[in-house]
Amino acid sequence: MSVLPWCVAAWLFAVGIYGIATSRHYVHLVGCLSVCQSATYVLLLAVGFHWHAGPPIFYDHPPGTPAVDPVVQALVLTDIVIGATVTALLLAIVVQAHKLSGSVDPQRLRPLRPNA
């Protein structure tokens, strides 16, 4: 297994975190969160990958032929479902917050404002 996918995963995660830390719009922030999540996809798929191996489906070739690891693929699938749930929930809350406060700037929205 080459080092490249690990570097890509680390880079994606770092870029996503940077995007979140500097974000001025919640929809953008949710996008950056998805970038962070892509890092986990890349990492997991890289973990299960083998050169010259087919998909782990033994419908048309006999069991025992080299295949990539199906476990991590199942993990990625679960991860995607969870990611979709979280994104939907976040966007729904952002819409509600926008209705109430008129802003979607993460550097302006804060719970319990200081009592100045």
Q: Give the one residue of 7, 26, 54, 65 binding other proteins; rule: CB under 8 A.
A: 26
The Cα 80–Cα 45 span in angstroms is 13
Per-residue binding letters, 82-111, with other proteins (x by CB under 8 A): x--xx--xx--xx-xx--xx----xx-xxx
Residue labelled with tokens 């297994």: 1
The Cα 54–Cα 39 span in angstroms is 23
Q: Does 47 bind other proteins (CB under 8 A)?
A: yes
The Cα 96–Cα 93 span in angstroms is 5
Both structure tokens of 30? 């949710």
The Cα 49–Cα 69 span in angstroms is 7
Q: Does 64 bind other proteins (CB under 8 A)?
A: no
Chain residues that interact with other proteins, rule: CB under 8 A: 9, 13, 17, 20-23, 26, 29, 33, 36-37, 39-40, 43-44, 47, 71-72, 75, 78-79, 82, 85-86, 89-90, 93-94, 96-97, 100-101, 106-107, 109-116
